[in-house]
Structure 1
Amino acid sequence: MIGISDIEAAARHIAGHVVRTPTVPSPGLTALLGVPVTAKLELLQRTGSFKARGATAKLLSLSEAERAAGVVAVSGGNHGIALAVMAAALEVKATVVMPRTASARSIELAEEAGASVRLTEGMDSAFELVLRLRDEGLTLVHPFDDPVVIAGQGTVGLEFAEDAQELTDVIVSIGGGGLIAGVAAALRARRPDVRVWGVETEGAEAMSAALRAGGPLRVPVSSIVTTLTAPSVSQLTYDHVSALVEEVLVVPDREAVQGCLDLADRAKVWTEPAAGCLLPAARQVAARVGDGARLGLVVCGGNATPGDLFGWADRFGLL
């Protein structure tokens, strides 16, 4: 299990490379949800998502030989962008494997940063290819099955604990589970009375399926939210969530897209559906907790173009 000392060490290592993002009360979301809401704005992080933290932590931990070999990662979008940008900043050659379902903008950003981008038909084949490339000599930077990466993501929770006022519940999106594992570990140490809730979208339910099964297993992925579509969580992230997280909620893609529209309208931030899914989950949490609820939202990323968001909104009849 990742400890608070691991997360504090990661914070010191990455401090000169990443942004300490704002933690702010949101009057608009407070009015919308009917309870006080504080948002941790990770969409303002370098590369547009929290993923810069874990990628940087891992890159800084590598030996000279590992750096010289070049790094490789699998990603539905944000991890690949983060690795490409941060590797370029540290003068490390990067290869990013993405499914063709990844947004065109994500692929473009990774390529613009200088990474070699390899596309596959889906996330299953993307994970298979990245393991082959690792076996051929590249240094793997896994998006979530790595204690150094999880500690890096945990710095989100460390900052949230330090910067937020009173909170009762914090809600975190789940793909492979690296973010929620790190955030939950940090909050358990710094704010032990705060409950942590996870949220997935339908068709990207690797963690909730693992919790039902008693351990990680492969699941079919069909959600439009490609940044959450890990085909399986890891034993490491499962262990953290099963021990530290209250519950993992699952919401429809349509509600995640509506959440993006509401975040733009009420919170004045432009997000992607991996963050939009926080709002329907927050409504459920507020209803369960009742009077006295004070919610924290980890607004994890904003790497969706207007064309992406309006296309999804039109598809679901939201415009």
Structure 2
Amino acid sequence: MGEDVSADSVTLDLLLEARETVKSSPLGVINTPMVPWSQTTLPLNKACNIHIKLENMQRTGEREQALNCRGSFKIRGVANQFARRPEGGHFVTMSAGNYGRSFAYASKHYGWKGKVVMPETAPVSRSVLIQGFGVDVERVPTSCLMNEVMRCVQEHNMTFLHSYDDLDLIAGHASLGLEILEVVPEPDVVVVCCGGGGLLAGVAAAVKLSGCEMSRIYGVEPEGACTMHRSFIEKRPVAMDTRSVASGLAPPFAGTLPYELCQRYVEGIVLVSDDDIKAAVSALYKAGLVVEPSGSAAFAAIASNKIPELEGKNVVCILSGGNIGKDELGNFPD
């Protein structure tokens, strides 16, 4: 992130412009459905009106559509990132899977070279999927992700595209928040997963800057990968050794710009256990919704009563991604 970029750089005009870029992107980003919780078979133990944003139904490329693979919100930010770099280049990034997949698809579409540095803990199937787009993949320990990225930049003259700490990316992700407001114009509560914080920051900024000053935005992190939660406590972006079944929510540090935006617009960060996440994946699957562990965190927080004062409120729960294979689903309880 450039030194001159701060939370003040994120304006409603910037987000609205990014939303038009995302809508018209050749990468095929779709406006995903919003459905009332009451129209699903999911159990509900609270008297509130919950809408579920089905971003797990997002698509990433014709090849995956043909294979009936689901995508994630990451393609939104990537669409805006790549549109802002018309000169092309040789790009490198770090990702546990979803951003890397969208990055790889965009690289192939634009005919640009790319490399994804992945944590060793990420499912191998995701590495294979990314390589299928013609992008190089290198798997390293989580603690070595940034070091390897910087080596590529310095030794091979690659350009680093950050997977969550990037103004263009966050502005692209904000399109999801603006879509939510078209269905629920004044949400009381919005619950969003948080890894490095790019989606949470974008959605929170979109909701608050659109005039919903009273809306409460909550981020949800795994207990074993709570970088934003710790950042809130220490009043600065922090790093930590992270580990969670939700590998997409376990980057080694919180993003600087996401942290600044979350400090300004987010009510708080709540934590869920890996068992909470596993139970959420299973419950969603039984209801016919294929959602990966990272994408299930917001639902897990609501289902395990981690979000305060929901009774009688209009609530939005974001299911942020469906990138999970049948082999992985077998690891979750029936």
For the criterion TM > 0.5, the same-fold answer is: yes
1:76–1:123 CA contact under 8 A, matched in 2: no
How many angstroms apart in 2 are the aligned matches of 1:273 and 1:93?
30
Cα 1:138–1:287 change in 2 (3 A) is closer
How many angstroms apart in 2 are the aligned matches of 1:141 and 1:287?
33
Q: Deviations over 1:182-241 (max 9, x none)?
A: 000000022332211000011111100111111011111121211011111122111111
Q: Deviations over 1:264-319 (max 9, x none)?
A: 223x21001112222231146686214312220111001111221221x2xxxx33
Q: Deviations over 1:13-55 (max 9, x none)?
A: 1212311111222223674243321111111112300000111
Mapping of residues 244-259 of structure 1, within 5 Å? 244-259=265-280
How many angstroms apart in 2 are the aligned matches of 1:29 and 1:169?
22
Q: CA deviation at 1:181?
A: 0.3
Aligned to 1:38: 51
Q: CA deviation at 1:6?
A: 1.2
Q: Are 1:203 and 2:211 counterparts?
A: no
2:296–2:320 CA contact under 8 A, matched in 1: no
Cα 1:75–1:296 change in 2 (3 A) is same
How many angstroms apart in 2 are the aligned matches of 1:139 and 1:112?
21
**Stretch of structure 1 that moved more, 21-30 or 253-262:** 21-30
**Stretch of structure 1 that moved more, 126-135 or 293-302:** 126-135
- Of residues 147, 169, 172 in structure 2, which corresponds to 1:128? 147
Cα 1:188–1:124 change in 2 (3 A) is same
1:200 is paired with a residue whose SS is: strand
How many angstroms apart in 1 are the aligned matches of 2:95 and 2:181?
28
- Of residues 158, 162, 166 in structure 2, which corresponds to 1:146? 166
Instruction: List runs of 5+ in structure 2 lacking aligned partners.
Output: 1-6, 61-70
1:269 is paired with a residue whose SS is: coil
1:32 is paired with a residue whose SS is: coil
How many angstroms apart in 2 are the aligned matches of 1:152 and 1:107?
24
- Give 2:209's aligned amino acid: A
Which one has a larger percent helix, Structure 1 or Structure 2? Answer: 1
**Stretch of structure 1 that moved more, 29-38 or 195-204:** 29-38
Instruction: List runs of 5+ in structure 1 lacking aligned partners.
Output: none
1:175 is paired with a residue whose SS is: coil
1:30–1:36 CA contact under 8 A, matched in 2: no
Aligned to 1:56: 79
Q: Are 1:26 and 2:37 counterparts?
A: yes
1:145–1:178 CA contact under 8 A, matched in 2: yes
How many angstroms apart in 2 are the aligned matches of 1:290 and 1:54?
30
2:316 is paired with a residue whose SS is: strand
Q: How many residues align?
A: 309
- Of residues 13, 19, 25 in structure 2, which corresponds to 1:5? 13
Cα 1:219–1:288 change in 2 (3 A) is same
**Stretch of structure 1 that moved more, 278-287 or 81-90:** 278-287
RMSD (Å), alpha carbons: 1.7
1:117 is paired with a residue whose SS is: strand
- Give 1:89's aligned amino acid: H
How many angstroms apart in 1 are the aligned matches of 2:75 and 2:184?
22
Percent of pairs with identical residues:
29
How many angstroms apart in 2 are the aligned matches of 1:308 and 1:251?
20
